[in-house]
Structure 1
């Protein structure tokens, strides 16, 4: 049974999903939230990942790739409610990683799909992977900075059309019928994101993150030299270094970071923000020391190897198996080294910060 607060939150999120997503995704997101609540209360989930329709993050990424309206609203204009969640690079990382894993699992006999679904998913994977690696594709500096140009590319339009067919084949949804039935989204009010105050959970967030990070985050409003990707990277490094954070928010899904953070989401953001910072450093638009660059490159290599490790526990998405993932011996090494990298970049000493917090 849900508490009154959980019930109200579920009704609100279900209504928000229904206004934005097609029917299959709405129901799967509802089911995923049920599994998150179940795991938070019992320590285990009953969700099984044995067929293609069990992989909601993959199917959601296919729909996002197919939907030009979504990309214009949330990748380009950054409309709420997806304030800082989706962009071209994050979506591609999710799709390529999940599609590759599902295709390999299908070949090994662990995940079922029809021959047609497999053929179409493989073709879409090849199209997206080829587009991302094409030298004619517009540069992507990260954080959606060039998404408006990327989604106007003729090859991207072909990918959108094919992704729509793949989504319908896997989900069973009729997107034409759904689009005819839903109201047009209201034109959003203009928002100056640079002047936005931290969210309603800010007082709680300040109790979780190190004071050094909080000070950098708050100082960013006045100091334009403090880049968004640098602040995000510090946040990701600290999350990767903190066993307490991982157990509380990745595994147990504690409030206030109830459904925002998980292991693979953080690792994907870390790799993206690290690449952005290293490129900025080499282009002399942001400066880090040679030691900091070397340490970031080493940690990136460790993370990439970890994500490809065949002994890694299965990751069904939404952090549902993070409790097992963060117990992996290689993760312990990453956690220890991420702590050193965070301290090197932030100038903080986490033991001292903890005692002063």
Structure 2
């Protein structure tokens, strides 16, 4: 049944009454002159097929009696369902005409839902999302810290995919690993491995340590390339196999938590000794050789940022302390890169 666009009264609503003479006797739709029309409630009543009884049921306008023919209870219910769906479409059209188009509000709701799915829980917990973007409390400092920390952390993780690639490409392009200290790279690999194992064991958020995983993979690649260009390819392959086995053992339940914590604590001397070895190599050679300036400066900036994110997301002072030491060491290497910027490695004389 198609409802008219307007009831006759100034405050009226539709009501539905099923005759009580029998289940298939018929039903009546009428317009009831009552103040306080509640169209959402009416729409729900129409969809469910329940009778809408109001006041004294005085019919002021449109009235139609719809007889129900035979066909069984199932067919009767099916006809009722279809007619209810048709009436719902008519009610929806009426609402759109009266409110100026509710599709705008629906579109806004869908956009807000999509925005929330992007932010929660990747960047913000739901309570912080409500405070910042529902209550518009933009001065909520704890939630702003969470948003900043998550954004910086994920940015570092994304950037770590490319941090050491310039170093890898520089070695491959020159077909030489001159100026790189193998011992320094191995100690750096040890520190990164400790961070990855420690973070996985303690279930830290991936945004607080994810870059260590990608840096670890790139560092093991640099280790192999150094050995390869020194004529020790077989030794490099054996090193990769032993490292993979060691990593599986550390991540297995067989390794006690105390051992994992000790490995993480050993990162401080490993980072310091590794960077000092690289600094000593640079000083001895009088240049930085194939050391990539882009990689050095990215590592320095990333370690500085990690001091804040590790405190904010994990609260682990051991992890934050390691990044403090790493920032100091990376800053020293960055200063050497600037100092030896114009220094070039001596050209090797070609054999006659």
Shared fold, TM over 0.5: no
Q: TM-score, normalised by structure 2?
A: 0.21
Task: Name the structure, 1 or 2, with higher relative contact order (CA <8 Å, separation 6+).
Answer: 1
Q: TM-score, normalised by structure 1?
A: 0.21
- Normalized per residue, which structure has more strand? 2
